[in-house]
Amino acid sequence: MPSIALSKDLSVLYITSEVHPLIKTGGLGDVSAALPAALRALGADVRLLIPGYPKVLASLRYKRKFAEFPNLLNFPPFVLWSAKLPKGKGISKGTPIFVIDCPSLYQRSGGPYTNTNGKDWPDNALRFGLLSKIGAILASDDSPLAWRPNIVHCNDWQSGLTPAYMYFYQGKKIVSLMAVHNLAFQGVFPPSTLTQLGLPSTGFHINGIEYYGNISFLKAGLFYSDHIITVSPTYAKEIQTITLGFGLQGLLAGRSDHISGIINGIDIAEWDPATDPCLAQNYSVKKITAKGINKRALQQIMGLAVDPDIPLFGMVSRHTYQKGYDLLLQVAPFLARLPAQLAVLGSGEGSIDRELVALEKKYPGKIAVKIGFDETLSHLIEGGADSFLMPSRFEPCGLNQMYSQRYGTPPLVHATGGLLDTVVDCTPTTLADGSASGFLFYEMAPGSLLSGIQRVVDAYRNKTTWRQLQRNGMKKDFSWHSSAMAYRDIYLSLLS
Ligand code: ADP
Ligand code: GLC
């Protein structure tokens, strides 16, 4: 039996570099809002720690200063605020949040990780070294707060140094957990960064923070944390292989007894077609036909030919190699020759952006592209498209395939990571047993994606099959409840 057996005795410091609705570049923002809220609903006392980017400070109306640090290590002066997440439509409103207000590190225009030209901030080691360090301080006897966590939950490389700081701390040890949302981003910096960030040079070791002659924030977290969680069961296995281990497969395989895969949930209040304010028309599983009004709105907004009968594919994501844009670009001319349309929203690598815009020019009315980050349009694409495309090369979890199913927009996905865990391929058997909810393609090759697209187009023509698929997806439970319970059980077992 664990010594702490109840969720109400859990105090969790959840360290993150983004949280919706304050700041979001991808799924981590959504998860950082919804998981802590779901854990709080189970009785756990979860509090967030985040850098004070301009958007974060501007969104928090009532905040209280609780500490000032004029000269901590080599960091510029900063203060700590405590506040609550603002009221919104989602489940996260009211979650307590600690904010690091360090103007010289965070007050700048651009994104949380990159400048306006998409280049990494040159001082990212210091920016996220500070986040990691404060996480460790709040878990230590040196904390300026009376509140103490008994679990420190780190997310991705940006808080990867926290378990290292905690390991080298001389006082009471607190349990730390490293959540891997994406192993491709590792926070790699020159070796000199180690002492600059106040970590001992003994940490520069293969059994430590060293990573092929440099240091890696993520490796530190994976090495020093008490437990590792990935955001889907399949990804937990994939990262232990050479193909998707990104050089860390040896370390991960060696720690396999300490790795769990828990599938992400979604915020079902924020992503609900029956109440979503971003849609032209709300609808539900009982009134799926009303979804057509969103298709019309989407076709008009994106400049596609307005046609209720042509299958419309949607896509919303970061424009990166991970998301399989190279494959999409190869297949798009064939898609344009089918009775099909494509609406794409996203931004990222400039070359992908440019190639997508060229496609739109070449196939007006059939392919439409919007470059940028647009929360409202992302909801309308979920509601207005007929099918959602995710040809991701790898996908630790993926959220859009779950949003799509909930919106009656069966997704077509590459069979990898969380996509494999959350989409049931449409076959005669799965249709008959009522589990079919989308389409999988298995080979990361243009022919395989294209035959997937053809399968969707064919299935779309059969209205009975299509309705069945839509209903199956819309009825699935993607809420955070059971995954939050799985996190709670891991926290409790770590404290036992
Ligand atoms: P990842 O975290 O790898 O980017 P996920 O599928 O987990 O992928 O989550 C992506 C989240 O970011 C989703 O909520 C998606 O709708 C959102 N998103 C991605 N790109 C955009 C964009 N250009 N505009 C609006 N939302 C976006
Ligand atoms: C990452 C992954 C994505 C996952 C998200 C939230 O950015 O790429 O697959 O859904 O984190 O966990």
* Per-residue pLDDT tens listing for the chain (496 residues): 444 556 778 999 999 999 999 999 999 999 999 999 999 999 999 999 999 999 999 999 899 999 999 999 999 999 999 999 987 666 667 999 999 999 999 999 999 999 998 899 999 999 999 999 999 999 999 999 999 999 999 999 999 999 999 999 999 999 999 999 999 999 999 999 999 999 999 999 999 999 999 999 999 999 999 999 999 999 999 999 999 999 999 999 999 999 999 999 999 999 999 999 999 999 999 999 999 999 999 999 999 999 999 999 999 999 999 999 999 999 999 999 999 999 999 999 889 999 999 999 999 999 999 999 999 999 999 999 999 999 999 999 999 999 999 999 999 999 999 999 999 999 999 999 999 999 999 999 999 999 999 999 999 999 999 999 999 999 999 999 999 999 999 999 999 8
Delimiting residues of CATH 3.40.50.2000 domain(s) in the chain: 7-265+480-495, 285-474
Closest ligand, as measured to the CA of 25: 1
Which strands sit side by side in the sheet containing 210-211, from one edge to the other? 188-189, 214-216, 210-211
Return all residues near 56 (Cβ < 8 A) that are at least 6 apart.
22, 23, 50, 99
Q: Which helix (H) or strand (E) holds 440?
A: strand 439-441
Nearest one of 97, 65, 99, 100 to 84, comparing CA atoms: 97
CATH topology of domain 285-474: Rossmann fold (3.40.50)
Is the Cβ–Cβ distance between 409 and 388 less than 8 Å?
Answer: yes
Measured in Å, residue 317 CA sits from the centre of ligand 1 at 5
Closest ligand, as measured to the CA of 30: 1
pLDDT tens-digit readout, 82-91: 999 987 666 6
Q: Report how far residue 31's alpha carbon sits from residue 67's, in angstroms, rounded to the nearest whole number.
A: 28
Closest-lying ligand 2 atom to the alpha carbon of residue 26:
7
Closest-lying ligand 2 atom to the alpha carbon of residue 399:
10
Is the Cβ–Cβ distance between 126 and 105 less than 8 Å?
Answer: yes
For ligand 2, atom 12, the nearest C-alpha belongs to 181
pLDDT tens-digit readout, 25-49: 999 999 999 999 999 999 999 999 9
Closest ligand, as measured to the CA of 271: 1
From residue 242, how far is each of 178, 223, 247, 439 by CA, in Å?
21, 18, 7, 27
Cβ–ligand 1 distance for 399 under 6 Å, the answer: yes
pLDDT of residue 349: 87
Start-to-end CA span in the chain (Å): 7
Q: Report how far residue 243's alpha carbon sits from residue 245's, in angstroms, rounded to the nearest whole number.
A: 6
Measured in Å, residue 46 CA sits from the centre of ligand 2 at 21
Measured in Å, residue 374 CA sits from the centre of ligand 1 at 10
**Tokens representing residue 28 in the block:** 């981590």
DSSP state of 256: G
Nearest one of 156, 95, 168 to 128, comparing CA atoms: 156
pLDDT of residue 441: 98
From residue 164, how far is each of 36, 48, 192, 222, 468 by CA, in Å?
23, 19, 16, 10, 50
CATH topology of domain 7-265+480-495: Rossmann fold (3.40.50)
